[in-house]
Amino acid sequence: MGAGLLLLALSGIGLARPIEDVSYALVSPLESGLRSLAQPIADVVANYGDVRDLTRENDKLRAENERLNAELVSLLEEATQREQLERLLEVKNSLAGQEVVTARIFAREPSNLRQLVAIDIGRDDGIKAGMPVITEGNTLVGTVTKVEADHAWVTLVTDVDSAVSGLVLESRDQGVVSGAYNRRLAMEFVSQDATVKEGDTVVTSGLGGTYPAGLVIGKVTGISGGRQEVFRRVTVEPLASLSRLEMVLVMTSFEPTRVTAP
């Protein structure tokens, strides 16, 4: 226990980083190998019997759905926000012009309490804490939170420590999308006057400067909070299949800004 506390203290002040770097350099190929070996078994289990075809079709439809959703997001943005076109086009152009680096997920946080994934690029590849991580269809996956020499940890949007400024695309209602222990997303601090409805798309608002605006977060699946409550609470289903992600994109050219009080 003493050794544990000592290591924890060393880790806290960064002195354990060389040990972690060396150990990860040694074990990450092993983890990748084990994961590669287990992946086919996992696929067989997941696709057992008749479910196999349905699963395959479901994956295909999900991919198609993500692509169509991305297109829809783009079209709705232009249709509903003519007055902000210039600004949004600027955002869109800036998103399109973003430099992204592909990364492979090779491990996940084994503790059920956190939703973290390890990616195979790190400080040596220019990765920094705070960089947003996305997947197909500009769908937000999370943020880089811990960077080592050759790998980095990404905190998923569903993690309890994750909070993203969100915007309902159709109604323009704003709130904070946060993770929970049940692996779902909740959009909090949504005004009682909000006109959000089920099926609406939630994107990043860009407020706070932590994420670029317009990244897709998910779909609204439920709305709660009566008139007597200060805010409404919106349940959001993540659009990205976070539990089965294998490859992600790190937005390396996005610099998070730290907003200070006026």
What is the contact surface with other proteins in residues (CB under 8 A)? 1, 3-12, 16, 19-20, 23-24, 27, 30-32, 34-35, 37-39, 42, 45, 106-114, 116, 118, 146, 153, 160-161, 179-183, 243
- Write down the least CB distance from residue 188 to other proteins, Å: 13
- Write down the least CB distance from residue 159 to other proteins, Å: 8
- Write down the least CB distance from residue 10 to other proteins, Å: 7
Strands 132-135 and 247-251: what pairing? antiparallel
Nearer to other proteins, 70 or 160 (CB): 160
Nearer to other proteins, 59 or 109 (CB): 109
Nearest Cα to Cα of residue 145 among 105, 187, 117, 111: 117
Handedness of CA 254, 96, 211, 138 (dihedral sign): negative
Q: Is the distance from CB of 129 to CB of 144 less than 8 angstroms?
A: yes
- Write down the least CB distance from residue 184 to other proteins, Å: 10
| 224 Cβ contact partners less than 8 Å away, ≥ 6 residues apart | 232, 233, 234, 235
Q: Is the distance from CB of 252 to CB of 131 less than 8 angstroms?
A: yes
| 242 Cβ contact partners less than 8 Å away, ≥ 6 residues apart | 115, 141, 156, 157, 158, 183
- Write down the least CB distance from residue 25 to other proteins, Å: 11
Nearest-angstrom CA–CA distance, 93 and 83: 17
Nearer to other proteins, 138 or 178 (CB): 178
Nearer to other proteins, 2 or 97 (CB): 2
Nearest-angstrom CA–CA distance, 163 and 156: 10
Nearer to other proteins, 29 or 222 (CB): 29
- Write down the least CB distance from residue 146 to other proteins, Å: 7
Nearer to other proteins, 111 or 228 (CB): 111
